[in-house]
Each structure stands twice: as structure tokens, then as C-alpha cells.
Structure 1
């Protein structure tokens, strides 16, 4: 990981430490329990079948803290059990560790009513979300040129109908393929060149788990993060997040 990636995650750990101290969470015996959800548990049975989780490209980890839940998409899933204070000191070098921390952070933030919409939408939710996203963009940004980082197919298809798009992804099976009239580009790219083209960035919150979120925080163009993974971090860092169909 880059030094600035570690610094950002360490900041979030310190923020969680403060919240734990303020709310006496460190004294609780209640544990964070992380488990890996099946595609059906995570997103239900949507009409389309090309979501990455359905293709086995990523998994969803869900953390439970009492009756509150938080989630994180990751390519390195696994179970975990530990106290809140363990999250504030655990290493964050691997994608698995970051997924545990991020899902746990989301669950704690949800319990403290500092974050909402931490559970992924299901069934026809992704389709509705995509339509709402297109409407929101048109209302707030007009007709911008959009750089979408993270191929969410329902979202990409809806946006490609209305806007000039460039789509970036890290999945080798997607890079170079034509999707919805747009050739998918490598997400490891010249961000300065992309920013010179784009008016608006749409970025998956999963960039928290792979560490690449830092590449988007210094951009001068507006950035909107989407999905449940970034729920807690968006609240702590003051980031704009769009996730209207989640619960």
C-alpha cells in the first residue's frame, strides 16, 4: 500500500477509537462478527445476472454489532470475530483486513446512528438506484462527462443512455471489452488525464478496501461515491455518497 493509503485508514481507525471511547464501546463484551454472504443473501434475485458478485469476482462481508450491520465488498473474504477495540489496532495491509475493518466500522457507525443505508439493496433495487442516479446527476450536474470507476452494470447501462461516459475497472475480464457502447478501461490509469476529460467522477466505495480511494480525494472535479462499503467512511470524511435503495 502507498503511505497515503495507510494514513487514511489509520485516520479512520483513530476516528473509530474516539467514537469507542466517547460511547464506552471498549468496555462492552459485544463482539464484531464478520461473515461472508452468498450472492442471494447480498443482492437478492435481480433481473440481470451480470453483477460481479454473481460472477464470483467479489464477495460481500457483513459485520454484525448487536442488531446493527455493516458491509464491504472484497476480493479477499473471510470470517472474523473480535471486539470494537480490536478494529482500532488491527493491521490493514491486506484486502481481507481492510474489509473486516470497513464492514466493522460501518456496523459501529450504524449502531451509533452516525451512518445509514449500510445494507445493500436487493432484487430490483439496483435497477431503481440506477434510474435515480441518472435523474440526480441531470438535476444537480446537467449533462456532464462522467468517469465511472467500478463497473456496476445496471448503473453503467442507465448512465450510458444519457451521458458521455468513460468506464474504468480492475477486472481483467472486463478491461478492453465493449459494454453498453463504451470500451472498459484499466482502473490503474493516468488520473490527471481522466480529470482533464471528466466533469464528474462516480466511484465505488469498494475503493476503500483496495486502498485506491486516496486517488480520488485530491481531485478538483466533483466526486460521488456509491454503494454500502463507504457508508461509515463517507460520514467521517465528509464525502458525498449516493445509495438510495439500500437500507
Structure 2
């Protein structure tokens, strides 16, 4: 898989911060643990989130008194030093999840990123209502391309806006849900951009190496979720995640 230029920019920016704050010399441990579905999102009313179906796992890094998270389909544990994140290979989904969760935790500890912990219980439902209100206020009634099937969001959005949903899960692709047929996320982005007025994109794209597809679009892009909290703060991406902590 080709190198992720976006993640390299994140890594370079992060390295400067680590050096500036003398975190290399302090050799502070960063540990990553894999959370269960209940630990990650509690008990929301809906039961069709990817993490509940075993399609994704959440990795959580702890640094100082702060936590950072990343959704991935290649979970495992990691324990090391902050300096290892600045030179880590970012070729696999596992490496990217370790790196991203670690970056999120460190930046949270430095007060450079916020909302790094996933919302729980009724949080996704409240988030989705807030999202619809924000979109209506800022964009009117746009045609929305949702990349990453977030069921609570899709449930609310499809009632208010023209909506197309794209996903990478074979169990979802081709199925009719929320008033539309779920399309393959491995698609021709230019064709989607010709239709859409607004892209809503899961922050997990930063871990599965597909985020570069959305960085050159002329249409507005809003990333959602805790995974992209640190990278979004570092590189100025628009992110929506109001119910996270």
C-alpha cells in the first residue's frame, strides 16, 4: 500500500512538538489497549454500530493523565516510548492505529487537541441531531455523501437531506438501509463529488489509508469521530464530534 502523505505530515508536525516539549528525553511510556464495545461506546439505544458487530475495535493510548483513541480492523496492544511514534512505520492499519491513538493522547495531555474520548450511551443519537442542525444552519439543504456507515447519523440525515452512503464493509454494500442502497467506498471520488454538495467522512479513514482521497476535494469535507482528533487539530481539518469528552 502506498505511503500516506497526509500521515507523514502529521508525523513530522508531531515530532516537532515532541522535541519542543522534550518528551523524547523523558522517555514517557505510551501504552495501547484494545477496548471492548461496551467500554468504547457504552450501551446506546442502537445495536448496529460497527464496533458492536465486531467489524472494528477501538485502541486506546494512555499518556500522562490523558487518553487517545483510534478505530481499526487490525487491533493489537503496544507499549513503548513517545519517540517511537515519531519514527514508526505507518504501513499497516495496526501501525497507523497505534500512531494515531498515541498522537491523540499526547496532544490531549498538551492541551493541543480535545474531544478524544468516544461518546457513550445516548451520545451518538444526540450527536446526530446536533450534526443535522449544524448542516442546516451552515449549508442549507445539501446533497450529502456519507463515507463510513454511522447508523445514528444516517438515521437522522436521510430524513432531512438527499443522502448517499458509502462503506467498506461487504455486509453493508448493496444493502438497502436508511432509504438508500449502501455503495462501495472504493469508488471514483470525482463522480461522487460531481453529485455531492458536502462530504461527511469518518475519521477512521486516517487509519485505513484512504484519507488522501478526501483532501483534494473542492466540495466541503467534515470529518467526524475521535480517531482524527489529533491530526485534525495539527493540520486544520474541519471536524465534528460534540458529544465526545
| Alignment correspondent of 2:196 | 198
| Alignment correspondent of 2:162 | 164
Note the aligned Cα RMSD (angstroms): 0.7
Map of 1:108-127 to 2, 5 A cutoff?
108-127=106-125
Scaled by the length of structure 1, the TM-score of the pair is 0.98
| Alignment correspondent of 2:232 | 234
Displacement of 1:29 in angstroms is: 3.0
Query: After superposition, what is the alpha-carbon deviation per residue over 1:70-104, rounded to whole angstroms, capped at 9, x for unaligned?
Result: 00000000000011100011111110000000000
Which one of 8, 11, 18 corresponds to residue 10 of structure 1? Answer: 8
In the alignment, structure 1 residue 49 sits paired with structure 2 residue 59: no
2:87 alignment partner, SS class: coil
Displacement of 1:2 in angstroms is: 2.5
Map of 1:38-187 to 2, 5 A cutoff?
38-187=36-185
Scaled by the length of structure 2, the TM-score of the pair is 0.99
Query: After superposition, what is the alpha-carbon deviation per residue over 1:171-191, rounded to whole angstroms, capped at 9, x for unaligned?
Result: 000000001111000000010
Query: Separation in 2 of the partners of 1:211 and 1:39?
Result: 23
Displacement of 1:41 in angstroms is: 0.4
Gaps of 5+ in 2: none
Query: Separation in 1 of the partners of 2:205 and 2:78?
Result: 21
1:49 alignment partner, SS class: coil
Equivalent pairs, count: 245
Query: Separation in 2 of the partners of 1:49 and 1:28?
Result: 43
Give yes or no for contact 2:27–2:82 (8 Å, CA) kept in 1. no
Query: Separation in 2 of the partners of 1:20 and 1:181?
Result: 47
| Alignment correspondent of 1:217 | 215
Displacement of 1:28 in angstroms is: 1.4
